[in-house]
Amino acid sequence: MLYREAGDFSTSYTADNQTFPIKFDRYRYYFILVIAFLVIPFFINDYWANAILVPFLIYSIAAIGLNILTGYCGQVSLGTGGFMAVGAYSFYKLMTAFPEISIMLHVLLSGCVTAVVVTLFGLPSLRIKGFYLAVATLAAQFFLVWMFNKVPWFYNYSMTGMIGSPERTVLGIVVTGPHTDAWAQYFVCLIFVTLCAVMARNLTRGSVGRKWMAIRDMDIAAEIIGVNPLKAKLSAFAVSGFFIGIAGALYFGVFLGAVEVTEAFGIEKSFMVLFMIIIGGLGSIFGSFAGAAFMVLLPVFLKNVFVGGLGWPTDLAAHLNFVIAGGLIIMFLILEPHGLAQLWRVAKEKLRLWPFPH
């Protein structure tokens, strides 16, 4: 009923090829964009921005990045935390070295720097696969964190080894530093999320994405039908690195404002982003958002219910949070191994037929 192509006639190839071919879906997408861009900025406060929406948006970018590499191209990576650190530190170096250039450009540039670094660490993927590749990316994670802690040039020789983002403006509006308004912070992240999601969606729909999926499904067969594994794998690493770098730059510059590499970009971060895409759904852009929402919102929600609502001790709530989050992850993996994105797909199928069962 709700979800039907019936009555929606495409008269051109472009119309037929669009991202959301079903009218209802398209309007829903526009509706969400309008809400996100035109409604939320007027109502957002510091708590909603800093505790919920900004981390959600930033983790969504990181999840999209990892999803391209792991979900679409099948190369398992445990280096996300380290790669985010590359984005954050290149953003820091760029914004302190060239303060006159817009930070929007710096975010993109740090994405590019990360893309180069990730491609370098992706080179072993041409020889090693599966778990062995995961171990190689794990090495990247530890090496990068160690390097950012060891080499003082990266943190501008600051005494504590921490990096802090100075105040920078875009079109006269403060977007980094302590005087940032909640809406500006949110808006910057939203712009990058939208850009990344549209880019990722269109890349994965086109020939590049098909090559990645061919490599993921069976690399030998893909090679036989003419997919160049060198190009396909390395392009997946580069694109993934670009997104993860943007996420790292925003995480440091816009969200936290001051980070310390071992604490902010440790192995836990890599696992967290990996859990996001597994729970959300491998090989799905929507899944990246759903997984990020799940991992970011659940702890805040549980905390507010247990401590704020029920008045329980904070340590009990924190421990219960681990139990519930862990339990839910296991439950999801058993009941729906393809993640939240698959639930969404099933729901759409059902909606198409509703109210009839078949």
Footprint on this chain of another protein (rule: CB under 8 A): 45-47, 50-52, 55, 149, 159-162, 164, 177-179, 255-260, 262-264, 266, 293, 297, 299-301, 303-305, 307-309, 313-315, 317-319, 322
Q: Which residues pair with 169 in a beta bridge?
A: 174
Q: How far is the CB of 228 from another protein (least distance, A)?
A: 40
Q: How far is the CB of 290 from another protein (least distance, A)?
A: 8
Q: How far is the CB of 247 from another protein (least distance, A)?
A: 14
Q: How far is the CB of 191 from another protein (least distance, A)?
A: 22
Give 124 or 177: the residue with its C-beta nearer to another protein. 177
Q: Which residues pair with 168 in a beta bridge?
A: 176
Q: How far is the CB of 309 from another protein (least distance, A)?
A: 4
DSSP 6: T
Give 202 or 314: the residue with its C-beta nearer to another protein. 314
Q: What's at 352, amino acid-wise?
A: R
Within 8 A by CB and 6+ apart from 266, the residues are 81, 145
Q: Tokens 């943007």 — which residue?
A: 246
Q: How far is the CB of 199 from another protein (least distance, A)?
A: 24
Give 76 or 292: the residue with its C-beta nearer to another protein. 292
Give 69 or 340: the residue with its C-beta nearer to another protein. 340
**DSSP per-residue codes, 90-111:** HHHHHHHH-TTS-HHHHHHHHH
Contact 59, 292 (CB under 8 A): yes
Q: How far is the CB of 307 from another protein (least distance, A)?
A: 7
Give 44 or 94: the residue with its C-beta nearer to another protein. 44
Q: How far is the CB of 271 from another protein (least distance, A)?
A: 14
Roughly how many angstroms between the first and final C-alpha of the chain, as a whole number?
12
Greatest Cα-to-Cα distance within the chain, rounded to the nearest angstrom: 68
Distances (CA, A) of 178 to 40, 81, 181, 309: 21, 24, 9, 30
Give 122 or 164: the residue with its C-beta nearer to another protein. 164
Distance CA 237, CA 240 (A): 5
Give 30 or 146: the residue with its C-beta nearer to another protein. 146
Please, what sign has the CA dihedral across residues 22, 28, 31, 37? negative
Give 161 or 229: the residue with its C-beta nearer to another protein. 161
Contact 81, 114 (CB under 8 A): no
Q: How far is the CB of 255 from another protein (least distance, A)?
A: 8
Q: What is the dihedral of CA 113, 90, 86, 273, to 10 degrees?
A: -100
The separation between CA 120 and the C-alpha centre of its own chain, rounded to angstroms, equals: 21
Give 219 or 336: the residue with its C-beta nearer to another protein. 336
Q: Which residues pair with 174 in a beta bridge?
A: 169
Distances (CA, A) of 189 to 252, 254, 345: 12, 8, 27
